[in-house]
Amino acid sequence: MPYFLHELLIDYPVLSALQSLFMLAMLFDAYRRRVEQWWFYFLVFVPVLGAWAYFFAILVPQFDYKWPIWERKTPFEELRFRAQSSPTFANDFALGQRLLELGRYEEALVLLEAARKREPSHAPVCFNMAKSLYELHRSAAALPFVQAILDKEPRWEDYAAWRLLIKIQEDLQLDDATVETARHLVKLSPRMEHKYLLAEQLARHDHDGEARLVLENAIQEQQFVSAAVKRINRKWTKEARRLLGELAPK
């Protein structure tokens, strides 16, 4: 331990006690997450620095927020001024995307349509148009835009268009198509989230037995993946266990 830290902890016993509790909390978290073995040695034999290194390396990436010091969003008024004074593709798209984020879907569509006229096959524009139309319960109109992405770039943005397609088909009550889309997504990318989405659709359409089998296999697979993958899948594993409990035979 650096000398100045050692002296600091001696001079401030309360701070030393808090640091000890913090280290124990990190050890407990490491045990719960089943991280690599070397982390335990690092936490124990590198006082103070080990616990904080674990915190920033393992816990901070799990927090679902943006650090404003790293990512500053352009103010809305500035985006609107740019689009009005210089209606280029980039300015129309940027304002349309922000309006979508704000839930102002009708206004977003106007800007996104203007951008699409300049770049008809631009995947982000098509996706945001489809999402706006879906949120406005105009899923039939959204369908062609999602299909355009899948025809050109089926793996675009980590399969985001497939997940939106499932929502759109569900909204249109295309039951068989929704299940088949979910099946195809699992074939393309058999990860925990997509297996959960397939099981959810199977359960929704009264295929409880198959849904249970998909969930049981998916949960079992999590025992043999790396700690990093387990952290990524944590949310979906929890959802899978919840759904499996709901599908348990009475």
pLDDT of residue 62 exceeding 80, the answer is no
Q: Pull the structure tokens for residue 61.
A: 């990436």
Alpha helices in the chain (DSSP H): 3-11, 13-33, 38-45, 49-54, 76-85, 89-101, 105-118, 123-135, 139-152, 160-171, 175-188, 192-204, 208-221, 227-246
Tens-place pLDDT, residues 135-173: 999 999 999 999 999 999 999 999 999 999 999 999 999
Q: Can you tell me the mean pLDDT for 23-43?
A: 82
> pLDDT-based confidence at 84, cuts 50/70/90?
very high
> pLDDT-based confidence at 67, cuts 50/70/90?
very low
pLDDT of residue 29 exceeding 90, the answer is no
Q: Can you tell me the mean pLDDT for 74-93?
A: 95
Any domain includes 23: yes
Which of 168, 193, 215 is the C-terminal boundary of a domain?
168
Contact present, 233 and 222 (Cβ < 8 Å): yes
How many angstroms separate the CA atoms of 173 and 186, rounded? 21
- Structural domains counted in the chain: 3
Any domain includes 14: yes
Which of 168, 183, 199 is the C-terminal boundary of a domain?
168
Residues 161 and 180 both lie in one domain: no
Residues 77 and 164 both lie in one domain: yes
Q: Pull the structure tokens for residue 222.
A: 């999590």
How many angstroms separate the CA atoms of 158 and 180, rounded? 19
Residues 42 and 121 both lie in one domain: no
Residues 185 and 234 both lie in one domain: yes
How many angstroms separate the CA atoms of 141 and 129, rounded? 9
Residues 77 and 158 both lie in one domain: yes
pTM: 0.72
pLDDT of residue 93 exceeding 70, the answer is yes
Which pLDDT value is given to residue 66?
46
Chain position carrying tokens 């300015």: 91
Residues 114 and 157 both lie in one domain: yes
How many angstroms separate the CA atoms of 85 and 63, rounded? 38
Q: Can you tell me the mean pLDDT for 38-59?
A: 84
Residues 100 and 128 both lie in one domain: yes
Any domain includes 226: yes
Tens-place pLDDT, residues 160-216: 999 999 999 999 999 999 999 999 999 999 999 999 999 999 999 999 999 999 999
Which pLDDT value is given to residue 41?
85
How many angstroms separate the CA atoms of 191 and 204, rounded? 20
Residues 139 and 193 both lie in one domain: no
| Average predicted confidence (pLDDT) for the chain | 88
Residues 204 and 229 both lie in one domain: yes
Q: What is the CATH number of the domain that holds 88?
A: 1.25.40.10
Contact present, 132 and 151 (Cβ < 8 Å): no
| Three-class secondary structure assignment of 169-224 | HHHCCCHHHHHHHHHHHHHHCCCHHHHHHHHHHHHHCCCHHHHHHHHHHHHHHHHH
Which pLDDT value is given to residue 65?
46
Residues 164 and 182 both lie in one domain: no
Which pLDDT value is given to residue 187?
96
Residue ranges making up the domain that contains 128:
73-168
Any domain includes 67: no
Any domain includes 134: yes
Any domain includes 136: yes
Q: Pull the structure tokens for residue 210.
A: 């198959």
Which of 141, 168, 195 is the C-terminal boundary of a domain?
168
Which pLDDT value is given to residue 11?
63
Residues 103 and 30 both lie in one domain: no
Residues 119 and 184 both lie in one domain: no
Any domain includes 68: no
